[in-house]
Amino acid sequence: MNISNRVRDFVRKLGQGLNIQRLFKRGDKVPDVQTVQQILAAYEPIFRQTVTDTTTRLINNEIKTPQWQREIERALTELYLTAAAGAAGHVGGLDNDMLAEIRRTVKQQSNIYLNRFATQIDQEREKWDADKILNRLNLYVGSAKPIVSRALRMANDGLKGMPAVPAEPGERTICKTNCKCNASRITNLNPEKGTADIWWDLDPTAENCETCIERARLWHPLRIRNWKIVSDITSPRLYAD
């Protein structure tokens, strides 16, 4: 995947050549989610300006909808790369698994949402001015939440080879991109035995949705034993589809 110079420069300016351990609290090795959220918040204006410029060109008939969609996909890719690089500590900390996850997420966003949105714009152009399009696109900022969660865990080499968490904060939840949960706290980690506990932590200050409450009940922690998830991952209340 081509990582644009803009993302590299931004991450470098934020001091993301930091040691990965800087993103963990001392002693208990709990990921410092707030640090990554600050990095992402700092990048949001760049993302918003990019989609604003692209959408203005669309409204002014300077580009067609397919090109608009490709440029929005590129902006999403850079948003996710920034989130993942912040969690990894630097762009070079992104391994092939994380890059593949970013590709998958962008493709999923495009297939599920952007394709339909682009069709709506084409079919009902008179209903979609720049402000309406941008209000909808700005919701995508929250879609980086699952990437942040995965990247924080993947920064821990001890999880290599362990099964993936079935769903991340903001992923297949009723609250969607408004999710405030955290699924990056790890305890009882033993790479030699394939053992780990990954905790689904609710935000005590948020109004948590039913999906997240169920995950906090069944995945507190999500237990991995002998490289297999032994906690319940089949309850239909765990996923809002």
Q: What is the DSSP string of the chain?
A: ----HHHHHHHHHTTTTS-GGGGB-TTT--B-HHHHHHHHHHHHHHHHHHHHHHHHHHHTTSS-HHHHHHHHHHHHHHHHHHHHHHHHSSGGG--HHHHHHHHHHHHHHIIIIIHHHHHHHHHTGGG--HHHHHHHHGGGGGGGHHHHHHHHHHTSGGGTTSPPPSS-TTSS-SSGGG---EEEEEEEEETTTTEEEEEEE--TTS---HHHHHHHHH-TTEEEETTEE-S----GGG---
Whose structure tokens read 């996710």?
80
Q: How far is CA 111 from the centre of its chain?
A: 17
Q: Please write the tens of the pLDDT for every residue from 124-172.
A: 888 899 999 998 888 777 777 888 788 778 777 778 889 999 999 999 9
Which of 56-70, 75-89, 129-143 has the weakest average pLDDT?
75-89
Is the pLDDT score of 13 beyond 90?
A: no
Sketch the domain layout of the chain as residue ranges. 1-155, 157-241
CB contact burial 189-219 (16+ within 10 A = b; e otherwise): beeeeebbbbbbbbeeeeebbebbebbbebb
* For residues 97-109, average pLDDT: 80
Tokens matching residue 214: 């169920």
Q: Is the pTM of this model over 0.85?
A: no
- Among residues 153, 152, 159, 167, which one has the least CA distance to residue 233? 167
pLDDT digits (tens, 9 = 90+) for 182-209: 998 899 999 999 999 999 999 999 999 9
